[in-house]
Amino acid sequence: MIQIENIYKSFNGFAVLKALSFQVGKGEIFALMGGSGNGKSVILKHIVGLMKPDQGHVFVDGKDICHLKGNHLEEIRGRIGFLFQNGALFTSFTVYENVAFPLREKTKWGENEIREKVLMELDQVGLAGAENKYPAELSGGMIKRTAFARALVKKPEIMLFDEPTTGLDPITAHTILDLIKSLHGHLGFTAIIVSHELSRVFQIAHKVAMLHEGTIWTIGTPEEILSSKDPVVRQFISGATEGPLKFY
Ligand SMILES: Nc1ncnc2c1ncn2[C@@H]1O[C@H](COP(=O)(O)OP(=O)(O)OP(=O)(O)O)[C@@H](O)[C@H]1O
Ligand SMILES: [Mg+2]
């Protein structure tokens, strides 16, 4: 579903991605881990065509997104839900209005249809009854859930989660990752998750890749990564979890 082929990306002469390649199969949950500033968000932005590689190709469902323009690019983007890191809600909109926004922008649906869809989506993410609240009245976990509902409303085939648990306490963070897992079970989207909650991420991902020095340093099943003898991987895993990786 997603195929990244040998991409290079530099900013002001500083190479962030170097000959980076990986693939994500349809329906797979793919976790991307790596230290801060390693280029995880940059990779996700390439997949939605917000950034273009200096060299290489990014294929989404077989289409080279780097060469798509106008309606063709919009069509592919419409199939991708993106939870941006620090992604904000519209603060002057209620939860309901935030989730309805993509439908008002991208469809010609009437108010009844929109209402039915929005309330169904809020129910799915555990926010039934919160539709009239404003973002300032929400907890961190509720903000993430609202953003998730807003991304889901377009029925995306691909979901990109850029640190969906940042700023949440560990229990709420686990609940959000469990929600991703359970909705993946219902909806079957292809997902890439960037998250530092490794203990939970290792439980829900089919494949884990470690980004290091601008390239995919290691890739494998969670079991393979956990049993890796590579010192870079070992150090990252124990550092990110402040001790040996434990399952809850
Ligand atoms: N638009 C941009 N212009 C210039 N430099 C950028 C831009 N976007 C990212 N970078 C640089 O690219 C590098 C990778 O950034 P990126 O945001 O992908 O890191 P990250 O792995 O997501 O880190 P974090 O875990 O902190 O979110 C950083 O050095 C960053 O400064
Ligand atoms: Mg980032």
CA 58 to CA 211: how far, in whole Å?
17
What sign does the CA torsion over 194, 197, 202, 205 have? negative
Kind of pairing between the strands at 190-194 and 158-162:
parallel
Residue nearest to atom 24 of ligand 1 (CA): 36
Tens of pLDDT, residues 47-60: 999 999 999 999 99
CA 162 to CA 82: how far, in whole Å?
8
What does pTM read for this prediction? 0.91
Looking at the predicted structure, is the pLDDT value of residue 244 above 80?
no
Helix (H) or strand (E) holding 201: helix 198-204
Instruction: State the pLDDT at residue 58.
Output: 97
Tens of pLDDT, residues 201-240: 999 999 999 999 999 999 999 999 999 999 999 999 987 6
Best probe residue, ligand 1, of 8, 33, 40, 201 (max atoms within 8 Å of C-beta): 40
For the CA of 163, the closest atom of ligand 1 is 27
Tens of pLDDT, residues 156-177: 999 999 999 888 888 888 889 9
Tokens of 125: 């993410």
Residue 6: how many CA atoms within 13 Å on its side-chain side? 2
SS3 28: coil
Q: Edge to edge, what strands does the sheet with 207-212 contain?
A: 80-83, 158-162, 190-194, 29-33, 207-212, 215-220
Give me the domains of the chain, ranges plus CATH numbers. Answer: 22-51+73-79+157-248 (3.40.50.300), 89-155 (no CATH)
CA 100 to CA 111: how far, in whole Å?
10
Mean pLDDT for 23-27 is: 97
User: What is the DSSP secondary-structure string of 87-125?
Assistant: PPPPTTS-HHHHHHHHHHHH----HHHHHHHHHHHHHHT
CA 164 to CA 197: how far, in whole Å?
10
Instruction: State the pLDDT at residue 18.
Output: 97
Ligand 1: lining residues by beta carbon, under 6 Å: 11, 16, 34, 36-42, 85
Ligand nearest to the CA of 214: 1
Looking at the predicted structure, is the pLDDT value of residue 247 above 70?
no
Helix (H) or strand (E) holding 208: strand 207-212
Residue nearest to atom 10 of ligand 1 (CA): 11
Tens of pLDDT, residues 50-94: 999 999 999 999 999 988 988 999 999 999 999 987 777 999 999
